Amino acid sequence: MPHPLPTTLTASGRAWADRELNPTSARQWAQASPPSPVRDVMLAYLDWRTGAYTSAFEHVNAALSELTAPDVWRSRALNIRAGLMMARLDFSAAHALYHEQLAVATGCGDLVELAHAKHDLALALLDFNVGEALPLLQESLELFEDCGQSEQTGVAYLNLGMVYQRRGEFGRAEQHYARAVQRGQDGYAVLHILALAQLVVLKVQQGQLGAAQAHFNDLDQLPQSQDIEAEVERARASVLLTQELSRVRWAQDQGDWDDTAREQTAGLQAVDPATLALAMIGQANARQAQRLAELEASLAQAEAQHAEAERRSVTDLLTGLHNRQHLMTEGARRLTNGTAQAPAQAAMIDVDRFKRVNDTHGHATGDTVLREIAALLKAHALPGDLVARYGGEEFVLVRCAGQPSLVPTLEGFRLAVQNHAWTTRPVTVSIGMTLVPGDTLDVALDRADQLMYAAKRAGGNRLRHDLPRDSSRGTPHINLIYDPERDSVC
């Protein structure tokens, strides 16, 4: 039972449906719409298909940063970004994006998006695993047909034809190309160009130059498209046909000519290779080279911006440490593997009497003190530690299970703060440290916080922890230390 598109579509749905048959209308809708992720997806697609890669990448990144729900618009955005990565020849990233799109499309239950995901993942696999790609293409064809997607059904026919052509099954390839041409004649100009171009290539490959010339004549009558891929394929067909015609005529001039060759070229029009191909090829190649250069530049810029945005999203801007948001997500993950035999560890650190620093020397000096505290803490942490600013003058250090004791690290840090050459009044810290055999992060931090306040009540500038007095029982790698001002275990 077919599943045609609903007769009533939202404005964005109508614009999306228009993106191929009437891209001008789709762009007008997007440009007239207020900023939104859906608008960015639409503009990203239109820019991608016309070779405006810089703009396409900016729009799709903006859309994906806001589209977090598994819906059709996130699926479309993932598909566009994957297509851009394919253009960059970054196949690994493209494969990952197509697989993510497949999961999103499956999750939201949209058959059209599921068909797109299967189809485009298959194309990404063609050069690596045809055996896996072919079933995906066939599944996508059936889904497109069931959903009444005429153009996309034609695209699936086109790509299946290319697979069969690679396998040397020329008859099946021609049948699929012919079906794609039929769909293209319904008004899908890009599909029409691509399908005719493939027929030209197929007939040249078979040595049927008369049929190739006939298909090229039909191709040559089609108006130029804004789609860069379609124009490149048109130019490629022109090059192959022109080269083969030139070779055959040269053989004829040399007298190396037989009845088979005469049959193959019967009815061919006189063709001047330069006239037939050079203008089209030169223009297409120049456009492609320029757009590929733009894509490389835009991708590099976008990746740098994305990396910087990701860094800023998890970084406390004052101190350069991780922020509280990152602590609560990454810290929880790092504590999950703690056990009684190999506990994780967490510490809460607070600057003693920090309000006096701000009141006496001003907030700018207070900020400087916090930055220097952060630098000292980071310098004493191990490479795998998670160091974060918890808020205000409080800091947190989390160490995964199986790592050395935090006690020497924290005591070394405490002494470094105490002995630091401060430009203000002397600065010290109070620290609470706890073992985490499997607790949640909230529970661990609450316990470390209580221990830290116990250190403050004892006069500050000290470390309190909940290690057992006999460190040899059940707590490997943990060494006790002594309170710096009292001859007793912390």
143: three-class secondary structure by DSSP: helix
CB atoms within 10 A of CB 309: 11
Residue type for 254, please? Answer: Q
Instruction: Give the whole-angstrom CA distance, residue 216 versus residue 196.
Output: 7
Q: Please say if 294 is a catalytic residue.
A: no
Identify whether the C-beta of residue 176 lies closer than 8 Å to the C-beta of residue 142: no
Count of alpha carbons within 13 angstroms of residue 282, beta-carbon side: 6
Please give the sequence-ordered ranges of beta strands (E in DSSP) within 354-465, or none if there are none.
386-391, 394-399, 429-436, 463-465
Strands 429-436 and 344-351, bridge-based pairing: antiparallel
Identify whether the C-beta of residue 91 lies closer than 8 Å to the C-beta of residue 124: yes
Concatenating the DSSP letter of every residue in 35-79 gives: S-HHHHHHHHHHHHHTT-HHHHHHHHHHHHHH--SSSHHHHHHHH
What is the C-alpha R_g of the chain? 33
Q: Residue 434: beta bridge partners?
A: 346
CA separation (Å) from 259 to 256, 264, 334?
Answer: 11, 9, 78
Greatest CA span in the chain, whole angstroms?
Answer: 109
Residue type for 45, please? Answer: Y
Instruction: Give the whole-angstrom CA distance, residue 35 versus residue 46.
Output: 16
Active-site entry in 174, 393, 394, 411: 393
159: three-class secondary structure by DSSP: helix
CB atoms within 10 A of CB 487: 6
Contacts of 347 (CB under 8 A, 6+ apart): 396, 397, 398, 406, 410, 431, 432, 433, 434, 448
Just list the catalytic residues. 393
